[in-house]
């Protein structure tokens, strides 16, 4: 992640944990660096839901899961 700003409270789940949802605190806006399908470096901005998704997926690459960021467990939606 190159930069982040703002704060948002999120409802978050994960395809690896069906029917489990928690509240998390995430940045409202992030800028990430990645490789596209051609192996070229790209820089992408994400806000709101996309910022949450970028954070979630980047943490998977670092061996973390959304439950590590949970501030409150929610019942199944
Ligand atoms: Zn996930």
Domain parsing of the chain, residue ranges: 3-74
Q: Give me 74's structure tokens.
A: 């929610």
What is the whole-number distance in angstroms between the Cα of residue 38 and the centre of ligand 1? 24
Q: What percent of the chain has pLDDT over 70?
A: 97
Residue 36 CA to residue 11 CA, distance in Å, equals 28
Q: Which residues are catalytic?
A: 57
Q: Give the pairing of strands 29-35 and 3-5.
A: antiparallel
Domain 3-74: state its class.
alpha beta
71 CB-contact burial (10 Å; exposed 0-12 / middle 13-18 / buried 19+): exposed
Answer positive or negative: Cα dihedral of 14, 17, 19, 24.
negative
pLDDT for the residue numbered 75: 80
What tens digit of pLDDT does each residue of 4-40 get? 999 999 999 999 999 999 999 999 999 999 999 999 9
31: CA distance to ligand 1 center in Å? Answer: 19
User: Rounded to the nearest whole angstrom, what is the distance from the C-alpha of residue 6 to the centroid of ligand 1?
Assistant: 22
Look up the pTM and report it: 0.90
Largest CA distance in the chain: 41
């Amino acid at each position: 992640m190159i930069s982040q700003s703002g704060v948002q409270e999120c409802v978050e789940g994960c395809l690896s944990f069906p029917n489990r949802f928690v509240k998390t605190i995430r940045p409202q806006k992030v800028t990430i660096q990645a490789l596209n399908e051609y192996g070229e470096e790209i820089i992408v901005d994400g806000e709101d839901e996309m910022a949450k998704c970028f954070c979630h997926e980047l943490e998977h690459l670092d061996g973390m899961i959304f439950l590590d960021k949970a501030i409150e467990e929610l019942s199944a939606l």
